Amino acid sequence: MEISRRLGAFAVCVALLSACSGSDSGSSSVKDDGRLLVVTTVAPITSIAANVIGDRAQIVGLVPEGTNSHTFEPPPSAAELLSTADVVFINGLQLEEPTKALAEANLRDDVPLVELGDRTIDPDQFKYDFSFPESEGKPNPHLWTDPTLVKVYAQLIHDTMVGVDPEGAATYNTNLQAFIAIVDEFDDAVSATFETIPVNQRKLVTYHDAYAYFADTYGWNVVGAVQPADFGEPTARDVIELIEQIEAEDVPAVFGSEVFPSPVLEQIANETGAIYVDDLRDDDLPGEPGEADHSWLGLMKFNFVTMTDALGGDSSGLTGFDVRNSALDEATYPQ
């Protein structure tokens, strides 16, 4: 098909793709029950923190599930919450800059503001891609899709909490070791499951590239992503180039986002003959707060099973994996 005809065909489709902005969820007041107050940002980090901290502190997430965490603007009420926090954990790597700025303006001087991603990898390990080009200076921040890096997040949370609350060291130690054991077991199941996918089909085309670090660890190829660096709409030429790359590499499936439905991505799948799967999740946990699947582990299991099934693998070894937490998760997850 000639590029000129494709450009015309996709001009209308590209116009339909809307950039999703963060919603104003507000921040409900937190009752002082004598425990420490830990504030987090995106739901996967809230879940990881809950696994390490348990009931030693109140844990409150700031970024509502189902919003674009890259563009989320915290409501003014978040300033009051941050002013009473004892610890703040954010992903960092420039994911939550408005929230970071609000925290820096409102935290007490002695309160740790921990950027987990920046402490997990060095600048020479940063990943850049279509959604996160090096020219923009913002690396891909989605480290939590790689279980091996999540163990580092958990260790950093543990170390911070022991420093703030040394009397809880035994609890944090126990929870951390239990969580790492679960992640290691999960990593083994994931690796075995991915071995069932033909090597030449371990390819990802997504709406938003959340899997750059994951791909490195598990030997996958991230072919491309639709969403550009400004989180707006791709140009028609961007779309055509992605189609041509999918066709050249014979990509079997393209993955949309449960949070950000994309008519452009669906049309790309139709054009190339690839399977279209529209329910991958970047940081929106499955289920409802309080349910077992509503966790970082539940999120990753859901995504990895979805990928495996669409790319010709056998997910049975992963579908039976027991999703559980290492500690009681009573964190607040704004919806």
The CATH code of the domain that includes 132 is 3.40.50.1980
User: Does 163 lie in the same domain as 85?
Assistant: yes
Greatest CA separation found in the chain?
Answer: 68
Is 26 a domain residue?
A: no
Alpha helices for the chain (secondary structure H): 3-16, 43-53, 77-83, 97-106, 116-120, 147-164, 169-194, 212-218, 236-249, 263-272, 296-310, 316-319
pLDDT (average), residues 78-106: 97
pLDDT > 60? residue 155: yes
User: Does 181 lie in the same domain as 67?
Assistant: yes
- 3-class SS of residue 107: coil
Residue 233 pLDDT: 75
Domain boundary among 134, 164, 188: 188
Q: Which domain range does residue 263 map to?
A: 196-319
Phi/psi at 172 (5° precision): -65, -40
The count of domains in the chain is 2
Tokens of 7: 């450009």
pLDDT (average), residues 238-266: 88
CA dist 308 and 158 (Å) reads 32
Please report, as a single letter, which amino acid is at residue 281: R
User: Does 143 lie in the same domain as 83?
Assistant: yes
CA dist 215 and 129 (Å) reads 13
Is 16 a domain residue?
A: no
Quote the mean pLDDT of the chain. Answer: 89
Phi/psi at 57 (5° precision): -150, 160
User: Does 236 lie in the same domain as 149?
Assistant: no
pLDDT > 80? residue 185: yes
Domain boundary among 188, 210, 228: 188
CA dist 52 and 170 (Å) reads 11
pLDDT > 80? residue 11: no
CA dist 238 and 242 (Å) reads 6
- 3-class SS of residue 323: coil
* Banded pLDDT at 169 (limits 50, 70, 90): very high
User: Does 204 lie in the same domain as 247?
Assistant: yes
Other CB atoms within 10 A of residue 290 CB:
10
Alpha carbon of residue 10 to chain centroid: 29
Contacts of 66 (CB under 8 A, 6+ apart): 23, 259, 284, 335
User: Does 76 lie in the same domain as 211?
Assistant: no
Is 1 a domain residue?
A: no
Domain boundary among 126, 160, 188: 188
User: Does 53 lie in the same domain as 162?
Assistant: yes
Assess contact for 50 and 59: CB atoms under 8 A. yes
CA dist 276 and 269 (Å) reads 6
User: Does 288 lie in the same domain as 159?
Assistant: no
User: Does 182 lie in the same domain as 43?
Assistant: yes
Is 325 a domain residue?
A: no
pLDDT-wise least confident of 10-24, 44-58, 224-238 = 10-24
Is 329 a domain residue?
A: no
The string of pLDDT tens digits covering residues 187-215 is 999 999 999 999 999 999 998 889 999 99
Is 12 a domain residue?
A: no
User: Does 247 lie in the same domain as 135?
Assistant: no
- What is the value of pTM for the model shown? 0.90
CA dist 224 and 129 (Å) reads 8
**For the CA atoms of the chain, what is the radius of gyration?**
20
pLDDT > 50? residue 7: no
User: Does 213 lie in the same domain as 278?
Assistant: yes
User: Does 182 lie in the same domain as 52?
Assistant: yes
Is 274 a domain residue?
A: yes
Is 124 a domain residue?
A: yes
Contacts of 85 (CB under 8 A, 6+ apart): 37, 38, 39, 103, 107, 111
pLDDT-wise least confident of 2-16, 247-261, 263-277, 298-312 = 2-16
Please report, as a single letter, which amino acid is at residue 117: G
